[in-house]
Each structure stands twice: as C-alpha cells, then as structure tokens.
Structure 1
Amino acid sequence: MADSPPAHRAAPGKSQAKRGKDHLNAIYAHPLPLLFGPLPADTPLPWATNVLGLFGRNRIVNPKCVGVFDAATRSVWITNSKDTFILWQRGFFGKGNLSRSEPSWLSRRINQLSGPKQLTAEEVTARRRELRKQFKTERAQALAAAAAEAEAIFAATGEMPTPEAVPAIVSKATFQAKGQQSAAVLPGADSVVTPPLNAADPSLVDEVDDAITPPEDMEHLQLTLQEAFFLAWSVGCLNIIDPTTNESIAPSALWKTFLAAHDFLASPDVPQSPWFDNPFLVSYVAFHHYRSLGWVVKSGIKFCVDLLLYKRGPVFHHAEFAIVVIPVYEDPEDRKSSPYDLPNVEPFTWSWLSTINRVNSQVKKTLILTYITIPALRRISAEELKSPECLKHFTVREVTIRRFVPARMRD
C-alpha cells in the first residue's frame, strides 16, 4: 500500500473552502500509522480465518518506523523523511524541531528559493498577520483623514457633515478578501490554510530551479517519550534505537529507559527504587487515556495547561479541550518518601484556577481537571513497576470547569 494518499480532485462546482477541506480529508484520512490492506488473492489463509471470516482477506500494514532516543532532550528523533511523513499524516504524532507543529521547514525553504507554489500553514499565518497589521495601519490613517475632513466641513459650514460627504472606510472583511482569494477558509478555524506541502516528499526538491542548489532537509520530527512509547508499545509501529549501541531497544528495556530518563529530577537523598509517581509514568497514563479514546493529544504549554485535545487534528479544527493533569496519591505517605516533586499536587488557589480558566475560555477551550490516582506502594510490589502491566492500577477521573459569566448565564 502506498505511503501517500491518492490524488484527490474535488467535483466541479464545489466552493474553494469545500475543495480545501476534501483535500485535507484525503491527506489525513488515517488516525493511526497502521493500515488495513487487502491480501493477495492467492495467499492461503488459516483454517479458522476461512471458517469464521475473521478480517476477511485483509491484513494489517505496519510501516515499521525508526527513531533514535535522545536522553538530553528526553525525546525520540525521527530523521527519515518517509517515517516523518507517515507519523505526522497518520495521527499528527510529534513536532518538527524547526517548525511550530507540522514539519514544514523544507517546504518553507523551497518557497524562499524558488517562489511559493503552495503556502505552508506557517506561511499562511504569517501572511494573515501581515495583512491584519496593514489593515490596522490603513484604517487608522483613513479614520484620521475622515476626522480631519469632517472638522474642515464643520468649520466651513457650521453644520455636521453627512455620511456621504466623508470618505468611506474600507471594512476589515473587504480588506482581508484581497489577500485570501487563493486560500481556503476552513469552517471552525480562525486561520486560513491552503492544502499543505508534504515536507517529506522528495519530489519537492525537483521543483526548485535548476540554477539553485536543492536544500538539505535540516529538520527532524521530535516525539515526546509518551508519544514514542505509545507508538512502540501500544501500536507496535516504531522501532527505537539506542544511539550509543546503534541497536534496537527491546520493549522491556524501553520501559525502564524512559522511566530512568526523569531520574535527574529525583532528590539525591532518596534511593532510586521504582516509584509509581515517576513523571513519565504519570504523563503517559494521561496521554494513553485520551489517545485510546480517539483524541489527538498535543502539548498545551501555549495555554498554560498540560495537554490539548483535538477531535481530528490541528489541521482541521482548534483544540476543544485543555487538560490539567493533577496527580493524587492514594497513600499520602508515598508522597513524603517519594524522590519526585510533581506539579499540581498542592491544592489550587482560586486565583490560579480562575486565571487558567479565563485564558482557555478566551480561546474557546473547555478546561478539564484530570485527576490521576497514584497507587499505594504498600499494596503493589515494586516488581510490577518494571513492566507496563502496572498501568492497570492507575485510575483517571475528570472534572470539567466552566467559567461563570453572569451576563450570559443569568437564567
């Protein structure tokens, strides 16, 4: 099965916004890197499959992506352009280290060298901001000119000028329409986007003028440890390499490696034994919980929260929910003896909660407090923490916080 989706052509007569949305639906059609593909007709099937009809004649197509563990940044780097293309377009995993989100550095560089053919999301956002700034400047100048002319008419005639006598001021919608004729406006998003370039597509290099040296792709896809372990353990489509040995890290060793990645946060006065409040473990519980429910999970540091939940992905809509992860110790004594000082353990002040809620209400996100109960060490053996089997002892509870606005919620 091809790694890239087939070319999609919208039916004639569709609006530009509809064509753009159909194009994105074709590109980001798969929620996970795994695909279901048909088996060859002559492939023999097991007896039970023939009788019970399990999966018919379909098979799971596993891309088997490869990443390199980087202990300094506590992340996994995907340097192969093909794997970058797969992980981003099939679930929006990772982030370009030279981009805001989508790894589009190569596309932007090509546009700089040979002229823009298709604008990336970052370039469209920059163009929209420039257009907004230009509009504000010209509107201020127009308002000043209209006020001066109105004062001149009043001084000459002694009467207030009629609206027809004052120069018309161009509206914001009319002004912005000049710079958005070639862009598709997605419903529900305040950003204008065009069908994106695939930064991992080698054919992009061929579009550069022959007189210009094709740029080298300097960007890699950076996965958090939570994303990497989800892809390696839960989905089974990522092979992580140890940079010191250049060998694949076994799943059992990968769990211990990621737990140990946060040991520098631990207090040196406490022995380094397994702890259920390891920062990686707590973060992964929250990540796995929402990913298993079908949400696209991204970092929420931009809005002062831990996670953001997207219904389909950042290309289609803005995040609907902002998540604050709150660890809760089942046994308070474990917190006293723990080497880690987890955030959000102390009770929130009302001022802090009101501030976070206000920030996310302004950007139309619902704030959710996610309470993760850390199991007590006295009832679970430390041996169980050496494998992902310990995840079954964690519980997740959610509380939705909505900002009360008296003017709107009077009834």
Structure 2
Amino acid sequence: MGPRWKGKGSKAKALADPMSKIVLQLHSCLIQSNSEGLLCGCSVLLSVEAQQADLLSRSCFGETMVTVEKDKQWFELSMEEAFYLCYALKCLKIVEDQCPKSDDQIWQYMKSRSALFPYLYKAYSHLRMKNWVVMSGITYGADFVAYRHHPELVHSEYAVIVSSEEEGDADKRLRVWSDIHCATRLCGGVAKTLLVLDISRNGHSVDSPSCLESYTVKERTITRWNPEQCREDHTIVESENGAKAGI
C-alpha cells in the first residue's frame, strides 16, 4: 500500500530527520540525566525536563500527562516502551518504592501483569529496531500500529497482530477464518495492511529476558483480494459460438 504522507513536505522532513537519529539523541539525553521511571500498575511514569520531553514526543515514546508542575513534565510509558528503553537501549532505570529493579525483576513484574508480555515485547522491539514507530493499535482491534515516521507526518502503514503457535499459549487469534476475514476487512476500511508477527520461542522459556535472543519473528502480511484490481475495463470476451458478452 505504501506510505501516505500528511501534507506537502512531510516526506522531505522525515528524510531530513530520520527516526534512528532522534532515538539516538533520546538515548544520549536519558543517560546523561540518569533518568528513572516509576512502576505504576501496567505502566511506567517518567518525570522529565523540557529537552527530554521534546525528544520523547519526537521519537513517540509514551503519552504526555497533564499535571500542575511547571518545571517538570510527566510521561506515561507502556510496559513495552519502558522495557525497551530499559533493556534494549539501556538508557532508563526503573524503580519501585525508590528501589531500583533489575532487568529480571522488571521482566517478572511485567509478565505477571500480562501473560502475553514476552510476545508483545518481542514484536515491539523487533519493529522498533527497524526504526518503525510503534504505538497502541487498540483503536483498530490490533496490538500495535506501525508508522514509517512521526504520526504528524505520515499515516500508520500497518495494523500489527502478534501471534504465537506455541502449544499452550493464551493468544488464539486468527486461528479461524472468521477472525482473518474481520481483521482484513477492518484494515482495508482504514487503509492499512494487516501485519501478523508470529513469535516462536523455539523451545525456550519465558522466565528471563535473556531468552529473547533465542526467539524468532516471522512476518506475514495479509490482504483481501480485490477482483477489480485484476480486471481489464471494458473487456469483451467472444464465446465459442461467436456471441459476445461483457465481463
């Protein structure tokens, strides 16, 4: 389907300021400020200065929270976003009750909040490492939506569903034809391509984040067949008896 840029000059802006460069700047800024996020339910709260807030917004990490503080700004990070900054980029510390948590402790905490967290995180990090902007896809009945750059510049290109065929795993979506039919119709209606990420643990457990290196991701795009795209306009087919019929 390809990217749908928002307005004249959006593509040029994205090319001049690639997402990989913005994330690198965020990485450096968070390390310099020794940033700490606070565990709070199914999210992580992060208090930042103006420069950090700007970079978080430009790199699409977290949602801005409305507070009465003038000197500080708060962001709410999803579990996948927070763990990516903490574990993959090593630029964020996560604390609970003023006590820093190890990667293993954070992993166990987030896994206890969502049994699907290991698969969702693997999918999230897989796309982020390819410099896609990844945001919640709940509006479209998906796990994530993927943007080529900032949502202000381009529409999301993919609706992402995370799947696993491991025996005993909880997520059983897209196992029947009706699920696939509904998903593809919805994606077609909002001009997105359905991207299914099949996560395989390859026999490894979900007990530690170190197991993520052994997980593999298989990408599949699913689209509806549109017969009009395979049809010649005004085609005349001559039958064997010489009669003509329009198709």
Normalised to the residue count of structure 2, the TM-score between the two structures is 0.76
Shift of 1:69: 0.6
Q: Within 2, Cα distance between the matches of 1:225 and 1:303? A: 20
SS of 2:145 mapped into structure 1: strand
| The one of 88, 94, 97 aligned to 2:62 | 94
1:402 aligns with 223
Residue segments in structure 1 that go unaligned for 5+ positions in a row: 1-15, 37-59, 98-104, 107-214, 263-277
SS of 2:164 mapped into structure 1: strand
- Number of equivalenced pairs: 222
1:108-167 superposed Cα distances (whole Å, 9 cap, x missing partner): xxxxxxxxxxxxxxxxxxxxxxxxxxxxxxxxxxxxxxxxxxxxxxxxxxxxxxxxxxxx
1:162-200 superposed Cα distances (whole Å, 9 cap, x missing partner): xxxxxxxxxxxxxxxxxxxxxxxxxxxxxxxxxxxxxxx
| The one of 27, 31, 46 aligned to 2:23 | 31
| The one of 17, 39, 47 aligned to 1:79 | 47
Change (3 A) 1:64 1:316: farther
RMSD: 3.3
Question: Which letter does structure 2 place at the counterpart of 1:85?
Answer: D
Q: Within 2, Cα distance between the matches of 1:401 and 1:26? A: 31
Change (3 A) 1:18 1:349: closer
Shift of 1:230: 0.6
Q: Is the 8 A contact 2:140 2:187 kept in 1?
A: yes
Q: Is the 8 A contact 2:22 2:55 kept in 1?
A: no
| The one of 165, 171, 184 aligned to 1:342 | 171
* Matches for 1:38-77 after TM superposition, within 5 Å: 62-71=32-41, 74-77=42-45
2:99 aligns with 247
Q: Is the 8 A contact 1:69 1:240 kept in 2?
A: yes
Question: Which letter does structure 2 place at the counterpart of 1:317?
Answer: V
Q: Within 2, Cα distance between the matches of 1:314 and 1:31? A: 15
Q: Is the 8 A contact 1:328 1:374 kept in 2?
A: no
Q: Within 2, Cα distance between the matches of 1:260 and 1:396? A: 23
Change (3 A) 1:27 1:356: closer
Change (3 A) 1:394 1:356: same
Shift of 1:63: 4.5
2:111 aligns with 259
Question: Which letter does structure 2 place at the counterpart of 1:261?
Answer: R
Question: Which letter does structure 1 place at the counterpart of 2:143?
Answer: D
Question: Which letter does structure 2 place at the counterpart of 1:348?
Answer: V
Residue segments in structure 2 that go unaligned for 5+ positions in a row: 1-6, 233-247
Q: Within 1, Cα distance between the matches of 2:137 and 2:14? A: 27
Shift of 1:251: 2.6
Shift of 1:64: 3.2
Question: Which letter does structure 2 place at the counterpart of 1:284?
Answer: Y
1:301 aligns with 138
1:376-400 superposed Cα distances (whole Å, 9 cap, x missing partner): 3xxx4x6xx4432211222211221
Change (3 A) 1:222 1:25: farther
1:10-40 superposed Cα distances (whole Å, 9 cap, x missing partner): xxxxxx9549x7599669761341249xxxx
Q: Is the 8 A contact 1:63 1:237 kept in 2?
A: no
Identity %: 24
Question: Which letter does structure 2 place at the counterpart of 1:84?
Answer: A
1:237 aligns with 91
1:283 aligns with 120
Q: Is the 8 A contact 2:14 2:149 kept in 1?
A: no
1:43 aligns with none
Change (3 A) 1:63 1:310: farther
